[in-house]
Amino acid sequence: MYGALWRILPGPVWLRIVILLVALAVLLFVLSTWVFPFVDGVLTPSQPVTVNP
Amino acid sequence: MFDESVFDESVFDESASNEAGSDEPGSGGPAAAGAESAKPAKGGSVVRSVIGIAGELLITAGVLVFLFLGWQLWIQGIALNSAQTSEASGLSQSWSASTVGPTAPAPSAAATAAGSAPATTPVGAGSAPVVMTAPAETSQFAVLYVPRFGADYKRTISQGVDAKTVLNAGGAGHYEQSQMPGDMGNFAIAAHRDGWGSPFIKINELQVGDPIYVETQDGWYTYRFRDLEYVSPDGVDVLSAVPQAPDAAPTDRLITLTSCNPLYIASERIIAYGVLESFTPRSDGAPAEIAGLTGKGA
């Protein structure tokens, strides 16, 4: 999977590394801005800090 | 791009021959094995590449889970805490602004009040502090200051303890069945211990006599920390007007902080009690210790 990704990328090694780093930064931004908050809302435990009957 | 012609051939040759093993240390094993065995046996290579891809997917999923945990404990907390600080400051400022009268702005008034005899109301028999009526659900009606939790610690207190609408915003929530600040009985609030800004992460570090300030539109209630208690998650009697004595008539004005315990496990609840010491009307300015915090930005 990652091997295929490396093969698909164009250009010399340094350019591929740059592309991958940029893609990684975009991925982390998308995850922390939209994906993780959504998952957090779905996974929220019912009442984790309160006392309930 | 400019010197493609020089580097292209050699780089491509090299990367084509060993790319699978060289680029991904964590996942190179299965992929490299799959690439090397691609020539001799075709059936085996398909199986191997499928296993390799599955392995890479599993590793990726694992990394994502750890990223989520790190985000939940740190990144989200940073965002929530800065939002909480500005919301708490905004509340405090709006209350001060809406108080019209001959009094000076809060900080300077507090300085004079600290120097001279403060006009606070010591809470004893006969003197009752102002008690506000219960606000609408999820509305922010108070600001919590606990110097032991941090020199610039302030969090909003909202009505209700629903996780999604109140507690996950990083502030504290008020148990609606308990009393309001300053009232005879028990002002009980809850907040997260770990995650969602971790507002009560240091609740176990409170020391007897530590001040716990609650600011409302009417002024500041100064509570003093009294003791800790550990109960099971169904120990609702800590919320009673007299904690652990649901049928008793209240004679004290208490604050009760509830959070989860142990840290990161939450199989129990940690309870911190405080006793009301004094009430400071808004016209007298904030108590000296938090005078620099109220109404100011982060």
* CA quadruple B17, B23, B25, B29: dihedral, nearest 10: -30
Q: How many Å apart are CA B28 and CA B48, to the nearest integer? A: 13
Per the CB < 8 A criterion, the answer to whether B268 and B230 are in contact is yes
Residue of chain A nearest B231, judged by CA positions: A51
Name the residue with higher pLDDT: B192 or B108. B192
Number of Cβ pairs < 8 A linking chain A and chain B = 101
| Mean pLDDT across B292-296 | 68
Q: How many Å lie between the alpha carbon of B132 and the closest alpha carbon of chain A? A: 23
Which residue from B1, B163, B231 is facing A51, i.e. has the nearest CB? B231
CATH number at residue B241: 2.40.260.10
The reported pLDDT for the residue numbered B29 is 44
Round to whole Å and give the CA distance between A9 and A16: 6
Task: Kindly report the average pLDDT of chain B as a whole number.
Answer: 78
- B261 within some domain: yes
Q: Could you read off the pLDDT of A23-41 as tens digits, one per residue?
A: 999 999 999 889 988 888 7
pTM beyond cutoff 0.80? no
pLDDT at residue B128 in the model: 74
Q: Which residues of B touch A52 (CB under 8 A)?
A: 233-234, 236
C-alpha span between B284 and B103 (Å, rounded): 8
For the stretch B147-198, pLDDT in tens is 999 888 899 999 988 888 888 888 899 999 899 998 899 999 999 888 888 8
Check pLDDT > 60 for residue B121.
yes
Measured between CB atoms, which of A12, A37, A49 is closest to B258? A49
CA–CA gap between residue B71 and residue A34 (Å, rounded): 12
Number of domains in chain B: 1
> What are the residues of chain A with a beta carbon less than 8 Å away from any beta carbon of chain B?
1-3, 6-7, 11-13, 15, 28, 31-32, 36-37, 39-41, 44-53
Among candidates B231, B215, B213, B233, which has minimal Cα distance to B223? B213
Task: Round to whole Å and give the CA distance between B86 and B171.
Answer: 12
Backbone angles phi, psi at B173, to 5 degrees: -125, 145
Residue B36 lies in a domain: no
Q: Could you tell me the pLDDT band of residue B236, with boundaries at 50, 70 and 90? A: confident
CB contact under 8 A, B24 and A2: yes
Within a domain: B52: no
Taking the C-alpha atoms of residue B185 and residue B201, their distance in angstroms, rounded to an integer, is 26
Whether B269 sits inside 8 A of A51 (CB atoms) is yes
Higher pLDDT pick, B254 / B74: B254
pLDDT in tens, B195-222: 888 888 899 999 999 999 999 988 899 9
CB nearest A49 (choices: B4, B53, B190): B190
pLDDT of residue B100: 56
Would you list the domain boundaries of chain A? Answer: 2-40
**Residue B6 belongs to a domain:** no
Residue of A nearest to B21 (CA): A3
Residue B49 covered by a domain:
no
Say yes or no to pLDDT of B225 above 70. yes
CA atoms of A32 and B263, how far apart (whole Å): 24
In a domain, B295, yes or no: no
Domain coverage including residue B217: 73-290
**Mean pLDDT score, B50-79:** 91
